[in-house]
Each structure stands twice: as structure tokens, then as C-alpha cells.
Amino acid sequence: RVRHHKWEVKYEYKSPDCFKKLSVSINGKTPGPTIVAQQGDTIVVEVKNSLLTENLAIHWHGIRQIGTPWADGTEGITQCPVVPGDTFVYKFVVDRPGTYLYHAHYGMQRQAGLQGMIKVLVPDGVVEPFSYDYDKNILLTDWYHKSTYEQATGLASLPFVWVGEPQSLLIHGKGRFNCSTPGTDVTLCNATNPQCSPYSMIVIPGKTYRLRIGSLTALSALSFEIEGHNMTVVEADGHYVEPFEVQKLFLYSGETYSVLIKADQDPSRNYWASTKIVSRNSATPNGLGIISYYPNHPRRNPPTVPPAGPHWNDVAPRVAQSVAIKSHKDFIHAPPKTSDRVIVMLNTQNRINGFVRWSVNNVSFNMPHTPYLIALKHNLLHTFEQTPPPDNYNHENYDIFSVQKNVNATTSNSIYRLKFNTTVDIILQNANTMNPNNSETHPWHLHGHDFWVMGYGNGKFNLSIDPKNYNLVNPIMKNTIPVHPYGWTALRFRADNPGVWAFHCHIESHFFMGMGVVFEEGIDKVGKLPTSIMGCGDSKRFHRP
């Protein structure tokens, strides 16, 4: 089936946490509408850019765009931006079932509200390895009151102005700001402003719910829990996992999970849903929502104090859930036993010409003016640096546990060229930032592919030892994976999808500050590019008037 969507993107005042802020909405909503489809369907989204003064591009996060690399929606990489007043048509096949996301991929526009979820159902007659009565989706985000323009300007200024911690955490677009904790005090800040009432999900006693939970935070790693209910994790980034039960679910920006919960608690009351920032020591209040047992009033506060959530620095359970999960035994897709290339990516924070940047192997990424897909397909190779970035760093004498000078860090728009149909290993190597005794978690997201999570560990990756412990049997496949503080995460993927694919930290500020790379593979196999993606940089000449 072809599923048609007609979207208008515009500026709109929104008060998701009771604080009025100019946001970006899709057909008047943020989060935008959930796209629902079945595996094999074609999605057509006709997007009208009604932002008066701003371009846009929309990325379909987790969708592999096989055969349609020009629909990946990454401005500067797969397309020119969609200019104000223009309409752009995204058309692609959702080739796998699962829970995915969509969001702006232009500057730091994503966190202004241009984001939502994609739900791809199995075809009729195909059974899933678990059963449930209802299927709901919840998008988790953090929320800043400063505009993205102020934030981007601060990051690109001298002196550097960090974005800081978010003002609130939203549960499917609903949050609270400057309130006392509901449940101990009836004066809810939401009471005054009808537009912002807490998120509430009605459940029927005795029924089982599949909750598809995604995170599109700009910065925060989150812990999500529902008071009094355990969750059985059954899916991660569109892949079935060997089920396991948790009380708290950890999500990094760009990840999705499906969990099953049974409404089997005392039905005479409602329960808190709550999110809390982890991996950064933040004073941002927990996000709160209400799970309401029918027929209770959906907004009746639970009689309890909301769950406090885990300690921000309790890394072990986060590691256990994020990189140690396994593929479901009946859906194993084993990885190639060996790889043709290993690219070690040292993640460092650097000062380059005074500006605070993030780098990979001492190279901080910036975009050229002609999108790579167009430049490569039309042989406009003068538009970006041709010498690829390094496959490694001087790891013999690099101390990942202390602040390093990294004086020879540079910015560059060079890209990695991958031999088509080869197997590539990426080793994400974390390190100390420019602040003493500080190493931060980075959730890396790969466009155009799922990768196998081969292994992870603390300290410095050892190429002659660690690969011997890779999981070659049932590693989970994902499109987003964290590298934990002072640790490393190894992933493997097949360069089998003709196109140009971003691979970057999904923390919006970090990618904006250069924490990303671009892979090209099989460009000669890419079909004729639609002119709709052209018109900027050196591709003006290809754009029909």
C-alpha cells in the first residue's frame, strides 16, 4: 500500500510544560502525527515549508532508504534544504517492521519540536514473538526554553556558551515547569493553562499493552518507569530482543524500545509514569505522566509521591540494557565472522581556533555547501576535501583518562569511502573531555543501516584482544548505540546500501559541534537523482527553474 501524508510545518506558540515558547509544529502538532504503516508499504510525505525564515529537512530515523538514498532527509548530505514556501515530497519504502522516529535534520531544528514516531506493523498473517491487547507509542524528549538559534549561536561563539541542562522533560509532548511536585500539593501549574495538562494514558484493568517508547532528546539520557509496574523489553530499534524484565528502561537519544506492561495493579487508583535524566548530574525535574486505570478520572493524581528514579551515575544497569542485550533466538541474523576494515573512532572534545568542538580522531566535521550525494553522483569533487579522515588515532601513547592537548585537531568536510559490499567494523572509543575527570556518554546513530553490536568494554580498546570476545552468535542489531564514559563500543555493518550515510552523535549540540562522520558506498549504483533535492551550492546548475 501507498500511505499518503500531507504536512505543513510552521512556527507556532506552544506551552508543553506551561511555559509559552515559539516552537515548530507539523499540522499544528508537536510531536507530529505518528506515521502508521505495514512492512513493505510506500510512505509518501508531502511537506510544505511554511516556516517564514527557515529551511528544513526531515530524516526518517531507522528507515534504511534502500534504493532511495535521496529521501534520507539529511541536509547537506543527501539533499539541499527545503526553502520557505517550497514543498518537498519524501517517498520511501518501510522495508522492516518496528518502531522508528522522524525528526528535522537541519542545524539544531530537531529540538524546536519537528519530531514524531513511525510505527511499522508486520504484514497480515505474520505473528510476532509476543502478544498484547493494545499498541501505544510514547515519544520522550527534553525541552529548552531558549530558542535553537540562541543555543546554536552560543555553541559557535567565543567565548563558548554551553546549552546547559533542559528546563523540562516531556512525555509525548507534555511536561511541567516551575511546579511543585504534584501529588503532594494540589496547586498544579497546569491548572491555569488549559493547553498544558500532564500526559495521561488510560488502561483497561487486566489488559496487556505494547508501549513503543522512543527518545528524541537533544541532550539527555533518560530512565523511564511506570510506578508499580514492571516492563518486559521485547524490541530495540526495530529488532526483536531476547525478552527481559526491567523496572526502569534506559533510553539514549535516537533509541526506540517496545515493552509489554500488564494493567494488573490495584485499579482503584492511577499510577505515575516518570522520566529522569541519567549519565549527567542534572537538576532538571523528572518528567511526569499519569497511567490511569479505567474508569478513574484520567487526570486524577496518584495518591503517592512520584518515583525518584535511579542515581544519575549508576552506569552498570545502563550498560547491561544498552549494549549487552541479545537478539531474539528465533530472529537471529548472525553477523559476518570477520570484517574487511576496522575504523577506530576516538571521541574527543577539542578547542580549535578557540572554539569548543567535538572530534573523531582529531578531525571535527563540518558540512560543504553542495550535498555529498549530489557532488559524488555528478562528480563535483572540488566541493569537498578528497583526503579521507584517519581510520585510527595515535592510540599507543594517548591517555584516555586525562585531559589531552590535541593541539593538532582540525575541522574538515572529508568523508570515509567504503568499498561496496564490504564488512566494516567501527570501534567507538570514549575518552576524557576538556574538563578533568569527565567523560560523557555519546549515543551514535548510523543512517541507512542497522549494525550488529559486537562488544563493549571499559578503558582503551585493544585490537589484538577484544575482537576475540565479540559476540558472533546472537548480537542485537540497532541503528543507535551509546559509548559509555571511558569505555568503547564495537559495531559491525555491511556497506551494502548505495548512498551517502551520516554516522554521528545524536546529541544535537555535539553533532552541531562536529561529532559526526559521513560514509559513501556504492555511489555508482545510486539511481538518477531527483532534481527536487538540488538547487544549493554547486548543484544550482542542475536545478530546473
Ligand X SMILES: O=C1O[C@H]([C@@H](O)CO)C(O)=C1O
78 vs 433, beta carbon nearer ligand X? 433
**Are the C-beta atoms of residues 500 and 376 closer than 8 Å to each other?**
yes
DSSP line for 184-237: S-S--GGGT-TT---EEEEE-TT-EEEEEEEE--SS-EEEEEETTB-EEEEEET
Among the listed residues 423, 433, 471, 489, the single contact to ligand X using CB under 6 A: 433
Residue 134's closest CA among 298, 263, 301, 286? Answer: 263
Rg of the chain on CA atoms, in Å: 22
244 vs 355, beta carbon nearer ligand X? 355
456 vs 511, beta carbon nearer ligand X? 511
Distance of alpha carbon 242 from alpha carbon 230, whole angstroms: 16
Report helix, strand or coil for 24: strand
Site for ligand X in 186-205 (CB under 6 A): none
164 vs 388, beta carbon nearer ligand X? 164
3-state secondary structure string, 301-346?
Answer: CCCCCCCCCCCCCCHHHHHHHHCCCEECHHHCCCCCCCCCEEEEEE
Name the segment binding ligand X (CB under 6 A); options: 93-101, 208-216, 336-344, 432-440: 432-440
Residue 376's closest CA among 492, 479, 498, 290? Answer: 498
What x/- string results for residues 333 through 352 when contact with ligand X is judged by CB under 6 A?
Answer: ----------------x---
Residue 477's closest CA among 448, 450, 504, 443? Answer: 450
Shortest distance, CB of residue 435 to ligand X, whole angstroms? 5
Cα separations (Å) of 218 from 95, 117, 240?
27, 16, 26
Tell me the three cell numbers of residue 438: 569527565
Site for ligand X in 342-401 (CB under 6 A): 349, 356
Among the listed residues 225, 237, 440, 508, the single contact to ligand X using CB under 6 A: 440
141 vs 349, beta carbon nearer ligand X? 349
Shortest distance, CB of residue 103 to ligand X, whole angstroms? 20
Residue type for position 333:
H
134 vs 162, beta carbon nearer ligand X? 162
167 vs 433, beta carbon nearer ligand X? 433
Shortest distance, CB of residue 155 to ligand X, whole angstroms? 8
- Determine, following the binding rule CB under 6 A, whether residue 162 of this chain makes contact with ligand X: yes
Shortest distance, CB of residue 218 to ligand X, whole angstroms? 12
Distance of alpha carbon 365 from alpha carbon 357, whole angstroms: 9
163 vs 533, beta carbon nearer ligand X? 163
Shortest distance, CB of residue 440 to ligand X, whole angstroms? 5
Alpha helices in 339-477 (DSSP H): 372-377
Residue type for position 302:
P
157 vs 435, beta carbon nearer ligand X? 435
DSSP line for 54-112: --B-EEEET---TT-GGGS--BTTTBPPBPTT-EEEEEEE--S-EEEEEEE-STTGGGG
Name the segment binding ligand X (CB under 6 A); options: 249-257, 283-291, 433-441, 529-537: 433-441
Tell me the three cell numbers of residue 465: 584482544
Q: 3-state SS of the chain: helix, strand, coil percent to 5?
A: 10, 40, 50
Among the listed residues 153, 193, 338, 435, the single contact to ligand X using CB under 6 A: 435
Interface with ligand X (CB under 6 A), residue total 6
Shortest distance, CB of residue 445 to ligand X, whole angstroms? 17
DSSP state of 390: P
- Determine, following the binding rule CB under 6 A, whether residue 313 of this chain makes contact with ligand X: no
Shortest distance, CB of residue 533 to ligand X, whole angstroms? 31
Shortest distance, CB of residue 412 to ligand X, whole angstroms? 19
Shortest distance, CB of residue 141 to ligand X, whole angstroms? 18
Residue 149's closest CA among 21, 274, 246? Answer: 21
162 vs 401, beta carbon nearer ligand X? 162
DSSP state of 274: E
Shortest distance, CB of residue 534 to ligand X, whole angstroms? 34
Q: What angle do CA 531, 117, 280 make, to 5 degrees?
A: 110
- Determine, following the binding rule CB under 6 A, whether residue 157 of this chain makes contact with ligand X: no
237 vs 440, beta carbon nearer ligand X? 440
Cα separations (Å) of 320 from 222, 324, 395, 454?
15, 5, 27, 14
Measured from each CB, the residue nearest to ligand X is 162
Residue type for position 57:
A
Shortest distance, CB of residue 47 to ligand X, whole angstroms? 31
150 vs 385, beta carbon nearer ligand X? 150
Shortest distance, CB of residue 146 to ligand X, whole angstroms? 15
What are the residues binding ligand X (CB under 6 A)? 162, 349, 356, 433, 435, 440
